[in-house]
Structure 1
Amino acid sequence: MPRKIKTTIVAALCCTVLGAGAAGCDGDAMENWDPLAPATRTADAAPISGTTKIDVAGRSVNVSCSGAPEKGRPVIILMHGGGDGLDKLAALQQSLSKQNRVCSYDRLGAGASDQPDGPQNFASTGKVLTGVLDRIAADSPVVLAGHSLGGLIAARYAPDHQDRVKGLVLMDATPPTMLADISKSIPESAKGPAAEVRTQNLAIFKGENPEKLVITDGKVRSAGNIPVEVIQHGKPYLAAVPEYGQRLEQAWTAGQRKWLALSSRSKLSTATNSGHYIYVDQPDAAVQAIERVTAQVARQAHGA
């Protein structure tokens, strides 16, 4: 098999979890990779404009905010995929900020934020998110819009923070049972590129990723009766994995449907012309979904 094709196939599923920019998930790097307490709310602080660093429990976190704050309207928080950073979301943030207050941030281990002290889990990365929201959203309602791993983190965070998370948009979010899905879709007996995809991704889920985040499977819990939009990719790029690609696509699709259990007001749609990066390949689909959810949250906040 030509080397270029091999690296593309091995990177395909890795990209769904950690994004194209992840260490060990792009091109030649993939070929050679060896897969071995929050701040208090500060409503009186001046609104952030542009990109800056904030302190969250003694750690430096890179944040970016744009758009005019408006009392009672939700703040949109964009959450990048693994291996990416807030810079990847810049165009989406710019589009949304014409009519909304929008912020994004680099999680620990990503972009220009500090490195984590050690392994992270959903609880620790959630504490950082809480600290970020305390500073950039204060008491405003929040809409979390996450891509890939960012979507998984958002969906795990929302059920425990129903007092502030009032809407969710998941853009091809990593499914809630992806670890089991990979293990079942690609058997341990697999050979060649498929075996590499399996090994690479199991290592990633164990914490061998830039954020040192240990990614565990879990049941989907209710986030309350909030508006939720789940957008899945339409181009079956996972089919590039030899022999097991169709299984992976089916598992991914089933995983997107599982996220509908977050709320009785959940909706699933398909970005037919998009691969994994929906907000890049089909930005209108992402913008419209986020704006729909934001508008519903705003109406509810005003008692409409």
Structure 2
Amino acid sequence: MNRMLKATAVAALCSTVAGTGYVGVAQAAGHVGGSARTTVQVNHAGHRGHADSFVGEKRIRVEGHSVNVSCSGRQTGHKPVVMLVAGYGDGLDAMADLQKTLSAKNRVCSYDRLGEGKSDKPEGPQSLKDTGRILTGVIDRVAGDSPVVLAGHSLGGLIAGRYAPEHRDRVKGLVLMDATSPTMTADITREIPANATGDSADLRAGTVATMRGENQENLATPDGPVRSAGWIPTEVLRHGQQYLAEFPTYGPAIEAGWTRAQYKWAAISHRSTVRVAEDSGHYIYVDRKDMAVESIQRVAAEVTQQNSGRWGHAGR
């Protein structure tokens, strides 16, 4: 089987399988570059209000951990802060080009989750609540009381999708880019039977193990329903290249399951739209950066309009 296809399928299904030689697709394709930005150690104040307006990278203290954060652009008027959330195996550098482009119109930040990039390694098992507390600490620091648009890719999309309904006071817009299925374990065990062999068996076992928490973040992501985040503007982007269908034997079922998952995520908001990124594989923000930028800017513009109206009404 083609190694790049295996790597791409594993990356898409959030399976970082130790010892198999699989690598993240962005790394394999040569999309992720190094960072020359300066890092500075600072302490996290642990409160909302005034946002830190730094530009570049900083390491901040969140929940007793050093977390690497990058911000670009200036916060102006009633615009939201855009927070980028990368997928498994990707540090903030993976989304640096997207961040730079978006920062022409918005303040944009990204961060390394525990176990990724330059942030601390987790001290033990992590739950979605644990990683959510880290995200809250980062948002408190870089956004203060400003509204936030979360834009997540792959596992980052799943994290954003789980986080938004629990934080409606902060998250006012959402963009999910080929987000990991909210029922990934059930999907993969249905699509690849227990008696599968070879690469298919490896993909099934690796995905189940990863969702159980056997990954570099020690993060368990159990299946669960998609909860509502209300009426926030939401765009769900799914890949258009049917590359998962090329996986031997079970590929068409895996591809169909992935597509269904994206429509499951659309239930997160009464104002959601699903868009197909034609000519794109899993890394939509690389293959179709234009589409990712347009979706994030469109959602951010809606949030700006709503925020402006809210403050305008309050002042009358």
Gaps of 5+ in 2: 29-43, 311-316
The amino acid across from 1:242 in the alignment is P
Q: Does residue 1:15 correspond to 2:11, yes or no? A: yes
Q: CA deviation at 1:175?
A: 1.1
Q: Which residue of 2 aligns with 1:70?
A: 76
For the Cα contact (< 8 Å) 1:19–1:84, is it kept in 2? no
Cα distance change of structure 1 residues 9 and 120 upon mapping to structure 2, 3 Å threshold: same
Q: Which residue of 2 aligns with 1:280?
A: 286
How high is the TM-score relative to the length of structure 2?
A: 0.88
Instruction: Give the one of 3, 14, 23 matched to 1:26.
Output: 23
Instruction: Give the one of 143, 146, 157 matched to 1:151.
Output: 157
SS of residue in 2 equivalent to 1:302: helix
Q: Does residue 1:141 correspond to 2:147, yes or no? A: yes
The amino acid across from 1:124 in the alignment is D
Q: CA deviation at 1:240?
A: 2.4
Q: CA deviation at 1:210?
A: 1.3
Q: Which residue of 2 aligns with 1:85?
A: 91
Q: Which residue of 1 aligns with 2:38?
A: none
Write the mapping of 1:220-299 to structure 2, written as runs, cut at 5 A. 220-299=226-305
Which 4+ runs in 1 deviate beyond 2 A?
A: 7-13, 17-25, 38-46
The amino acid across from 1:276 in the alignment is H
Q: CA deviation at 1:11?
A: 2.5
Pairwise CA RMSD:
2.0
SS of residue in 2 equivalent to 1:118: coil
SS of residue in 1 equivalent to 2:309: coil
Instruction: Give the one of 101, 114, 129 matched to 1:108.
Output: 114
Q: CA deviation at 1:192?
A: 1.5
How high is the TM-score relative to the length of structure 1?
A: 0.91
Q: Distance in 2 between matches of 1:59 and 1:118?
A: 13
Q: Distance in 2 between matches of 1:229 and 1:46?
A: 28
Cα distance change of structure 1 residues 177 and 296 upon mapping to structure 2, 3 Å threshold: same
Q: Deviations over 1:167-208 (max 9, x none)?
A: 000000001111100000000011121111111111111111
Q: CA deviation at 1:46?
A: 3.9
Q: Distance in 2 between matches of 1:215 and 1:183?
A: 15
The amino acid across from 2:185 in the alignment is L
The amino acid across from 2:6 in the alignment is V
Q: Deviations over 1:9-54 (max 9, x none)?
A: 4333211144899985329xx9xxxxxxx96324335412101101
Q: Does residue 1:179 correspond to 2:175, yes or no? A: no
Sequence identity (%): 54
For the Cα contact (< 8 Å) 1:9–1:193, is it kept in 2? no
Cα distance change of structure 1 residues 181 and 46 upon mapping to structure 2, 3 Å threshold: closer
SS of residue in 1 equivalent to 2:49: coil
Between the two proteins, the alignment pairs up a number of residues equal to: 291
Gaps of 5+ in 1: 31-37
The amino acid across from 1:118 in the alignment is G
Cα distance change of structure 1 residues 285 and 291 upon mapping to structure 2, 3 Å threshold: same
Q: Distance in 2 between matches of 1:161 and 1:243?
A: 41
Q: CA deviation at 1:292?
A: 0.3
Q: Does residue 1:121 correspond to 2:121, yes or no? A: no
